[in-house]
């Protein structure tokens, strides 16, 4: 596709359920990033992939959060046993290797009831 694609665009779930958020980056972009945007907050860095490896996972808020990337393309962010404080917009971005400009998707809005 022409841009970064994220799905679902909206997800409402019950506390304690697991959710998966998907990101399809721009073709040829080897770097992929996940950020979280909470109401009134800036963008919180979660994790970065270069190819299939994640050199820095330090931004993941807890061990309930995990992410993987396969084939150097699609990435999945998984949140286990969701809590209400996980409610936020999860943004994915991609870039050419070592390039500074990030290209963002429209985000996945997660609401945990």
User: Binding residues for other proteins, per CB under 8 A?
Assistant: 3-4, 31, 33, 35, 40-43, 45, 48, 50, 55-56, 91, 93, 98, 100-107
| 3 state SS of 86 | helix
Which residues have C-beta within 8 Å of that of residue 80, sequence separation ≥ 6?
18, 64, 65, 66
Q: Which is nearer to other proteins, 45 or 64 (CB)?
A: 45
Report the nearest approach of other proteins to the CB of residue 109 (Å): 12
Q: Which is nearer to other proteins, 67 or 93 (CB)?
A: 93
Burial of 43 (0-12, 13-18, 19+ CB in 10 A): middle
Q: Which is nearer to other proteins, 21 or 93 (CB)?
A: 93
């Amino acid at each position: 596709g022409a841009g970064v694609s994220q799905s679902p665009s909206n997800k409402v779930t019950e506390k304690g359920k697991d959710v998966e958020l998907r990101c399809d980056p721009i073709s040829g972009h080897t770097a992929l990033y996940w950020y979280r945007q909470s109401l009134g907050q800036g963008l919180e860095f979660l994790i970065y992939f270069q190819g299939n490896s994640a050199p820095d996972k330090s931004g993941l808020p807890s061990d309930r959060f995990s992410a993987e990337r396969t084939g150097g393309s699609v990435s999945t962010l998984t949140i286990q046993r969701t809590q209400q404080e996980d409610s936020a917009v999860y943004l994915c971005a991609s870039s050419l290797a070592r390039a500074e400009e990030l290209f963002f998707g429209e985000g996945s809005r997660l609401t945990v009831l």
